[in-house]
């Protein structure tokens, strides 16, 4: 494990990304997109899992414009309060710019075979969906993204595989919005949606809403999609 520095495309500075590399290279790269808790232990554990699958894992610090190095959990009320403050302050358009910069850097990094995907959770799940519509990433995986029904107008721009994991008990994504998303995706050849009988954040490692069976099934589907797209 290590870190890398990536230059922002708007000239406003640079940001760091947590990196875990697999034993064998060259290989594809997975850009992991953080939740509202920053690049925390759950994301670092997820990066280790991705590296164990045989891919380079990169998790950029997307909150760097607000405060670099955010690393909090879902365990206390104070941390939840801070997490929602960060979510409200976060500029999603700038976040997409930073993710595009990360994808570009990943394509040319040592050990990369040039193929790059994204995989995000919660806020990151929404951003992964947006990356499918707005970037050249080779595959995008969205876990319990919020407000996806507000992004359906650009679904026609998706040209690479997009996997969408949806929690049927998601308190942050109402049932009506979930249904709209599933229905819209049903007519798109590159988009596959999957529903799980679990709460929001069912795949957050050691999280309060962890649901082992749903996480295992979703992670297996993600691994399959990553392998197919990234080699």
Q: What is the pLDDT of residue 1?
A: 64
Active site residue 209: no
Catalytic residue among 138, 149, 200, 211: 200
CA proximity to 144, closest of 110, 168, 180 = 168
Number of domains comprising the chain: 1
Beta-sheet strand order (sheet of 191-199): 2-7, 14-20, 56-60, 27-33, 112-121, 139-143, 162-169, 191-199
Cα–Cα distance, 106 to 181 (Å, whole number): 30
Q: Could you report the per-residue pLDDT of 33-63, keeping only the tens digit for each?
A: 999 999 999 999 999 999 999 999 999 999 9
Q: Is 199 a catalytic residue?
A: no
Those residues of the chain that have pLDDT short of 50 are none
**What's the pLDDT at 187?**
87
Q: Which residues face 162 on adjacent strands?
A: 140, 191
Whether pTM exceeds 0.95: yes
Which CATH number goes with the domain that contains 112? 3.40.50.1820
Which residue among 74, 170, 199, 209 is the active-site one?
A: 170
| DSSP character string of 18-44 | EEE--SS-SEEEEEEE-BTTBS-HHHH
- What is the extent of the structural domain holding 99? 2-230
Phi/psi of residue 168, each to 5°? -70, -15
Read off the pLDDT of residues 105-142 as tens digits, 9 standing for 90 and up.
Answer: 999 999 999 999 999 999 999 999 999 999 999 999 99
Give SS3 for 228. Answer: helix
């Amino acid at each position: 494990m290590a870190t890398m520095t990536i230059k922002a495309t708007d000239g406003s500075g640079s940001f760091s990304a947590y990196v875990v590399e697999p034993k064998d290279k060259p290989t594809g790269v997975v850009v992991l997109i953080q939740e509202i808790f920053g690049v925390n232990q759950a994301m670092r554990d997820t990066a280790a899992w991705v590296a164990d699958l045989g891919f380079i894992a990169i998790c950029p610090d997307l909150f760097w414009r607000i405060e670099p190095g955010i690393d909090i959990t879902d365990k206390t009320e104070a941390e939840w309060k801070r997490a929602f403050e960060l979510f409200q302050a976060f500029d999603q358009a700038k976040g997409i710019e930073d993710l595009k910069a990360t994808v570009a850097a990943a394509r040319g990094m040592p050990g990369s075979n040039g193929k790059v995907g994204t995989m995000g959770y919660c806020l990151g799940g929404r951003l992964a969906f947006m990356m499918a519509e707005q970037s050249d990433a080779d595959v995008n995986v969205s876990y319990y993204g919020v407000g996806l029904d507000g992004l359906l107008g650009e679904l026609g721009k998706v040209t690479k595989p997009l996997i969408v994991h949806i929690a049927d008990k998601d308190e942050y994504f109402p049932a009506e919005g979930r249904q709209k998303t599933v229905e819209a995706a049903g007519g798109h050849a590159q988009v596959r949606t999957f529903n799980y009988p679990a709460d929001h954040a069912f795949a957050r490692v050691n999280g309060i809403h962890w649901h082992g069976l749903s996480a295992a099934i979703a992670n297996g589907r993600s691994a399959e999609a990553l392998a197919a797209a990234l080699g």
